[in-house]
Amino acid sequence: MIKCPICEKGALKKVMEKHYLYGVDFGMYPGEKCSSCGEVFTDSSDIKKIEEVAKQKGIWGLGKKTVIARTGNSLAVRIPKGIAEFTGIKEGKEAFIHSEKGRIIIEI
Ligand SMILES: [Zn+2]
């Protein structure tokens, strides 16, 4: 039995997993899934294939520059559409914002 390297509790089982990248369906790939934490480990050659398709579709690298705007006494950060779709964040949804080592973190 191969133990999960993340939680060290579960056993890894061979599975076929649907892969999504930034909300786009990339199809089924074989992997090993932990019976405890649910983490899926995908073969690096398959990750490369997914990466290639993502590059072809022009969605590789979701990170984007954004400009901070002023709204009243606060500042507003525009969340790019791709990141909004990826995270499922929506207008009106409550989020928790805090800072940590020079970063601003928005938890949804
Ligand atoms: Zn695990």
Where along the chain do its domains lie?
12-56, 68-107
Closest CA to 28 of 40, 11, 12, 36: 40
> Among the CATH numbers 1.20.144, 3.30.60, 1.10.3470, 2.10.260, which is that of 68-107?
2.10.260
Alpha carbon of 89 to ligand 1 centroid (Å): 27
**Whole-number pLDDT of residue 22:** 67
- DSSP annotation of 92: T
Alpha carbon of 45 to ligand 1 centroid (Å): 22
* More confident call, 4 vs 25: 4
**Whole-number pLDDT of residue 69:** 93
Strand 74-77 relative to strand 96-100: parallel, antiparallel, unpaired?
unpaired
| Statement: residue 52 has pLDDT above 90 | no
pTM comes to 0.50
Stretch 46-72: mean pLDDT: 83
Q: Kindly report the number of other CB atoms within 10 A of residue 34's CB atom.
A: 21
Alpha carbon of 7 to ligand 1 centroid (Å): 4
Alpha carbon of 79 to ligand 1 centroid (Å): 32
Instruction: Identify the H or E element spanning 34.
Output: strand 24-34
Per-residue pLDDT tens over the stretch 75-88 = 998 888 877 887 78
Stretch 53-81: mean pLDDT: 84
Per-residue pLDDT tens over the stretch 19-50 = 887 667 888 999 999 999 999 999 889 888 88
Alpha carbon of 95 to ligand 1 centroid (Å): 28
HSE of 24, CA atoms in CB hemisphere, 13 A: 16
Distance from chain centroid for Cα 55: 16
